[in-house]
Amino acid sequence: MKTMRNLRALLPVVVLLTACSNPNGQSNAQSIPDMPQPTRRVPADVASMKQSFSPVVKKAAPAVVNVASRRVVQRRVDPFWDFFMGGGQGGSQVQGSLGSGAIVRADGVIITNHHNINGMSDITVQLADRREFPAVVLLDDPSADLAVLKIDTKGEKLPVMAIDDQEQLEVGDLVLAMGNPFGVGQTVTNGIVSALARTDVGAADFGSYIQTDAAINPGNSGGPLVDLDGDLVGINTFIISRSGSSSGVGFAIPARVVRQVVNAALGGGHSIVRPWLGVKGQPVNGEIAKSLGMTAPRGVLVAQIYPGSSAERAGLKEGDVILAIDGQAVNDEGGGAFAIGTHKVGDRVPMQILRNDREQTITVRADAAPETPPRDERTLSGNNPFNGATVLNLSPAVAQDLGVDPFAGRGALVSKIGPGYAGNWMRPGDFVRSINGRQINTVADLASAIAGRAGGWNITIERGGQLIQARF
């Protein structure tokens, strides 16, 4: 059972004694006898526990860890500088990252942020008792900014932080943020839940964040947001700040996403396959609500439905308004993607919609995004303007992985730019639409169009929704 909510905290009464002087310069202050010091004791009930966060910290802190990662990169050698400065300016350079994490299984399974370990080759976990262990990555999920690590405990059972499974968090609840801010050592800050289901803050491709005013600073990333039962209700991941330090607007990835990623890792998965709805829409504002006869703006107006998607098979239609998915209110595309994406593939999920002034419920099957056309990824070479570009077919599955619009149509999508001529004029995210008047729908079309051609290029690409003509 979760602890009772809305119990009033017992606050100590502080009396301020001020010494004043009389006209004769004599003090009116009287001596105060020594007061007996209170004896610390284990809280006997919930009400007395509210006097201090200490019992919660003692329960949770042993499962909080520091995550240090590094990589070695090669620095460019400058012969001129080396000649005059005695050398040593080139060679390798060590880059590092410092964050936090939480132990979620006694055999050494740890959850942290993806951005703490992204691109790093050497990861070290330091426990609360200062012991250090090398760690390996079991699963990395960039779209949710989470990563699951594993350390070899040689059979030792470590303290564990339970992942909240009640999902009863409410705005105004007290929470603790734990981690290693600025590398100073394990630290605890407290605050409240400021908001729930923040989907419009743009930190990752997949997310619906808990907002808190508990102080979160650099180094706290990956550390747990803890409720008063000592359970992990979120993973602290980013802040909004003009200074770079906490300004009371911090965000945490909710426990349901943490649980999904951990379960996938423990099941042997190396990536997350999330259900995809296949809908493009816009939030219902006041003007749209009025035109639809709604009493207040809510939901997402469906503008497009991807052919063959879960939404189409469920009978959703353009012009419908999605109000809720599985009882969770939906007010933008991100909220809908999150509500369906936290389910298992194959689940049948109720969706509440508004159609023709009437609310009704339909059932959507939570299916994975289709990979049609099939994934075909190639790095192009040769004497042509695409030399060095990596391209692949756009499908809903690829769009979900890369965070691009699956409704952009068929085409060869540029995913990476390596050494070569393409770096002079192309960017990741560009679509190749035509070459010398020939329409390009797939990577195979692109490869065929450039094969054996020596010169005279008239190319159309799409960038950010705008068509660009290039001639070589």
Would you please indicate which residues are annotated as catalytic (active-site) residues? 115, 145, 221
User: Considering only CA atoms, which of 396, 472, 404, 410 is closest in space to residue 440?
Assistant: 410
Q: Which amino acid is at 169?
A: L
First to last CA, the chain: 69
Q: Which amino acid is at 124?
A: T
Q: Is 295 within 8 Å of 415 (Cβ atoms)?
A: no
Q: How far is CA 3 from the centre of its chain?
A: 28
Q: Is 355 within 8 Å of 421 (Cβ atoms)?
A: no
Q: Is 89 exposed, middle or buried (0-12, 13-18, 19+ CB in 10 A)?
A: middle
Q: Which two tokens stand for residue 101?
A: 């994490």
How far apart CA 206 and CA 269 sit, in angstroms, is 18
Residue 199 CB neighbour total at 10 angstroms: 19
Q: Is the dihedral of CA 191, 193, 195, 199 positive or negative?
A: positive
Q: Is 185 within 8 Å of 123 (Cβ atoms)?
A: no
Three-class secondary structure assignment of 234-293: EEEEEECCCCCCCCCCEEEEEHHHHHHHHHHHHCCCCCCCCECCCEEEEECCHHHHHHCC
User: Considering only CA atoms, which of 440, 371, 436, 437 is closest in space to residue 399?
Assistant: 371
Q: Helical H runs in 125-239?
A: none
Secondary structure of residue 82 in the 3-state scheme: helix
Q: Is 231 within 8 Å of 162 (Cβ atoms)?
A: yes
Q: Is 177 within 8 Å of 225 (Cβ atoms)?
A: yes
Name, in order, each residue with C-beta under 8 angstroms of 39's C-beta and a sequence gap of 6 or more: none
Q: Which amino acid is at 7?
A: L
Largest CA distance in the chain: 107
Q: Is 254 within 8 Å of 209 (Cβ atoms)?
A: yes
Residues paired with 378 in a beta bridge: 391
Three-class secondary structure assignment of 367-431: CECCCCCCCCEEECCCCCCCCCEEEEECCHHHHHHHCCCHHHCCCEEEEEECCCHHHHCCCCCCE
